[in-house]
Amino acid sequence: MPFTANRAFKRAPRMLVAAKDMYYTAADGRQILDGTAGLWCVNAGHCRDSITAAIREQAGVMDYAPPFQMGHPLAFELAQQLARMLPGDIDHVFFGNSGSEAVDTSLKIALAYWQAKGEPQRVRFIGRARGYHGVGFGGISVGGIDANRKQFAGQLLPAVDHLPHTHDLARNAYTRGQPQHGAHFADALEELVSKHGGHTIAAVIIEPVAGSTGVIIPPKGYLERLREICDKHGILLIFDEVITGFGRLGASFGATKFGVIPDMMTVAKGITNAAVPMGAVCVRHAIYDTVVNSAGAGIELFHGYTYSGHPLAAAAGLATLEVYRSEGLFERAASLESFWEDAVHSLRGSPNVIDLRNVGIVGAVELEPRPGAPGARGFETFVKCFEAGVLVRSTADTIALSPPLIVERDQITRMFEVLGSVLRSVA
Ligand SMILES: Cc1ncc(COP(=O)(O)O)c(C=O)c1O
């Protein structure tokens, strides 16, 4: 089982058997309020009829089409619709099947771009401490979660460095929205430029809001500063928007929310409301043009997946974007933001809580780790919430919440009441 304590799980399994809108049904029949949109991905709520119908219909029309040297209209239609939503001149899309594939693809596109531009010495990638970019070798190399790297440390990508993370409890605890302090953490990029030479750096990759590590919200001015330094040295900036895309922050993307436009964006999860796996890299016009137009005749990018732009995923993606549009779900998320923020901060003073933070429809409750047992308090909280009928997520001792964007106010209230009462019962 992925990222699971297999032996413990098999002793006491937690099984889900059905889902609709805001609720899962557990194997014992209990309704579980989904406080996490599955795994940050079911942004429109579960088993939405129009998405299900689109997948079902496409399965009967054309189950599969090879994406190498062949195409099908739905993939192009989805790319075009996405391009219209993307910020700046980001207007070309390469499809894969997951966030991990999107990340590794973006790193390969960065290398291909610099080769095509005549700067093949630009090969170094800069990630960030505590960053999560999936589980491919590229993703774990630029990623900064120690546990995800250690087992594989002997064979990571060689030319990679990391910026410091921006989590600063001493100065920013209990911040509502973006923290005041920490824009200066971006200056570490200047130090890496001095160390290696800007002309050797291909790209910087970060999550606008780091999700999987336990929700780290960018300090005011931080993303702007990173963009400036990248521009100064001609370095590509990649936003990994696998979590922050599709309304999670009360805007279409993190780039839109924070007003900082990267050169490439990786997306996945909410692109199909998670109903069929799909991921994508979105790139600026000039990146596409450079890679494609500087190549000789024939294939320009030696990369692709059997299931790139899979017809069922493309159908699910088109139906999902239609739900987002017709129900105004990104605007709905924005309109719920202050209610959500108050609900998150209602836990101030609960036992063992050392920080509360929020942005968009994302909330985090950081707990003091038990001495000698980091993660145990967070995991116990997650299990007890599940037993009490609410799905939350624990990463180490941070509890993260990110419900579907159709969540109602009384459901938000219930999530935090249950979490509050669980916190009072966890030693
Ligand atoms: C920012 C980010 N990038 C990449 C990934 C990997 O996505 P996947 O699990 O679909 O490979 C995730 C997954 O949570 C993520 O949060």
Place of tokens 């095509």: 116
Q: Is 239 in the pocket of ligand 1 (CB under 6 A)?
A: no
pTM for this predicted structure: 0.98
Q: Is the torsion defined by CA of 71, 74, 78, 81 positive or negative?
A: positive
Count of alpha carbons within 13 angstroms of residue 175, beta-carbon side: 20
d(CA 84, CA 342): 34
d(CA 34, CA 116): 46
Contact 390, 403 (CB under 8 A): no
Distance from Cα 100 to the centre of ligand 1, integer Å: 6
d(CA 302, CA 286): 19
Q: How many contiguous H segments (helices) and E segments (strands) does the chain have?
A: 16, 15
Distance from Cα 270 to the centre of ligand 1, integer Å: 11
Q: Is 281 in the pocket of ligand 1 (CB under 6 A)?
A: no
Nearest-CA residue for atom 3 of ligand 1: 133
| For helices 409-425 and 376-387, angle between their N-to-C axes, nearest 10 degrees | 130
Q: Name the residue among 372, 357, 361, 306 with its Cα closest to residue 178.
A: 357
Contact 136, 107 (CB under 8 A): no
d(CA 257, CA 41): 18
Q: Is 133 in the pocket of ligand 1 (CB under 6 A)?
A: yes
Helix, strand, coil fractions of the chain, as percent rounded to 5: 45, 20, 40
Q: Is 99 in the pocket of ligand 1 (CB under 6 A)?
A: yes
What are the phi and psi torsion angles at 13 (to 5°)?
-70, 150
What was the pLDDT predicted at 83?
Answer: 98
Ligand 1, residues 132, 145, 213, 278: which to mutate, most atoms within 8 A of Cβ? Answer: 132
d(CA 151, CA 130): 16
What are the phi and psi torsion angles at 131 (to 5°)?
-70, 150
Distance from Cα 293 to the centre of ligand 1, integer Å: 31
What are the phi and psi torsion angles at 359 (to 5°)?
-160, 140
Contact 251, 258 (CB under 8 A): no
What are the phi and psi torsion angles at 361 (to 5°)?
-105, 55
Distance from Cα 39 to the centre of ligand 1, integer Å: 9
Nearest-CA residue for atom 7 of ligand 1: 99
What was the pLDDT predicted at 21?
Answer: 98
pLDDT tens across the length of the chain (427 residues): 999 999 999 999 999 999 999 999 999 999 999 999 999 999 999 999 999 999 999 999 999 999 999 999 999 999 999 999 999 999 999 999 999 999 999 999 999 999 999 999 999 999 999 999 999 999 999 999 999 999 999 999 999 999 999 999 999 999 999 999 999 999 999 999 999 999 999 999 999 999 999 999 999 999 999 999 999 999 999 999 999 999 999 999 999 999 999 999 999 999 999 999 999 999 999 999 999 999 999 999 999 999 999 999 999 999 999 999 999 999 999 999 999 999 999 999 999 999 999 999 999 999 999 999 999 999 999 999 999 999 999 999 999 999 999 999 999 999 999 999 999 999 9
What was the pLDDT predicted at 75?
Answer: 98
Ligand 1, residues 213, 243, 271: which to mutate, most atoms within 8 A of Cβ? Answer: 243
Q: Is 104 in the pocket of ligand 1 (CB under 6 A)?
A: no
